[in-house]
Amino acid sequence: MAKIQRTKLSKERIRSAWIFLTPMFICLAVVAIYPLITTINYSFTDARLGDLYNYNYVGWFHYETLFFYDEWWWVSVKNTFIFSFFSVFFETIIGVTFALILNNNMPARGIVRAAILIPWAIPTIVNAKMFQWMFNQQFGVFNEILMDLSIISEPIAFLAYPDSSMAAAIIVDVWKTTPFITLLTLAALQMIPTDIYESTRIDGVSSWKVFWNITLPLIKPTLVIAIIFRTLDALRVFDLLYVLTTNSRETASMSVYARQWLVDFMEVGQGSAASTLLFAFLTIATILYLIITKTSFDRQGVY
């Protein structure tokens, strides 16, 4: 008797869940799934911007071009991964460090917490333009400081060369997105009951061990989410590189490459193929992260 009632109840709950979820699925279908399918469809055609309705199917032609004939696609893939890896790596380390510091009771904690949000609040374009001036060879504040400290004798043209402009882009991105990691980590840290720390203090456990064996496992689910978000974000980097660097194909990311084919060259087919591959990379990255970190979202319940 009791069993039947539960089933009935859960059936009802499942039904209402579907009813509540339907609007979201419709929204997703319109804003995400439809464009995605359109893009994948275009990637097999010779469509051109300016005449999007007359096209022929060309099979895997664009993918073959990308894989075997266009060295610049692979340069953009390499750039994107270098950018994503270093940017996420540094902002995770710095972000968690900041969160640990802010989690302590310290004076003016509220103000400091608000202050670290400022980089996150500045639009990327403004950010990129601002740093472009700071990295400027003639008038840039970085060169000014390095010259004053006699670290360098001649001003450096940071943004002129592919390697140094990639490093500059990573620095700007770390500066901008560290607060994101900090905030999420801080929220997770504050969920940890303080009595756990009290008992470790009584047992005389070293603070490094406490961090490694207690704090880190407890914040891991949150941190994984934060890192996945940031990685997905970094893999589709566009605006920062587009504005900050010289815009040559030596520093292009996958998104910059795809936009160039879609807009500048008007070859929607090739651009869509590049976008589809970028989408594939994002999917693979997400799956890999979930497998490697073995995070079960069901078990955590909160998500």
- CA–CA distance, 221 with 223 (Å, rounded to integer): 5
Q: How many residues bind another protein (CB under 8 A)?
A: 28
- CA–CA distance, 143 with 139 (Å, rounded to integer): 8
302 CB-side CA count, 13 A = 9
* Comparison of 113 and 249: residue with beta carbon closer to another protein: 249
* Comparison of 182 and 272: residue with beta carbon closer to another protein: 272
Segment interacting with another protein (CB under 8 A) among 25-33, 89-97, 240-248, 281-289: 240-248
Structure tokens at 44: 């097999």
Give Dmax over CA atoms of the chain in angstroms. Answer: 86
**Residue 30 sits in the site that holds another protein (CB under 8 A):** no
Q: Which region, left, alpha or beta, applies to residue 204 given φ > 0 means left and ψ of -120 to 50 means alpha?
A: left
The 131-160 site mask, x for binding another protein (CB under 8 A), equals: -x---xxxx-----------------xxxx
Structure tokens at 190: 């504050």
**Residue 175 sits in the site that holds another protein (CB under 8 A):** no
Structure tokens at 206: 């070293």
Contact residue for another protein among 63, 161, 229, 238 (CB under 8 A): 161
Segment interacting with another protein (CB under 8 A) among 11-19, 22-30, 48-56, 95-103: 48-56
Rg (CA), the chain: 24
Contact residue for another protein among 17, 112, 130, 263 (CB under 8 A): 263
* Comparison of 119 and 162: residue with beta carbon closer to another protein: 162
Residue type (1 letter), 136? N
Segment interacting with another protein (CB under 8 A) among 11-19, 177-185, 213-221, 260-268: 260-268
Structure tokens at 221: 């689910």
Cβ atoms within 10 Å of 129's Cβ, excluding its own: 13
Segment interacting with another protein (CB under 8 A) among 8-16, 101-109, 200-208, 262-270: 262-270
- CA–CA distance, 226 with 215 (Å, rounded to integer): 16
Least distance (Å) between residue 151 CB and another protein: 17
Runs of H (alpha helix) within 107-215: 109-116, 118-121, 124-134, 141-148, 162-191, 194-203, 207-210
**Residue 52 sits in the site that holds another protein (CB under 8 A):** yes
**Residue 246 sits in the site that holds another protein (CB under 8 A):** yes
**Residue 38 sits in the site that holds another protein (CB under 8 A):** no
Residues making contact with another protein (CB under 8 A) = 48-53, 132, 136-139, 157-162, 245-250, 260, 263-266
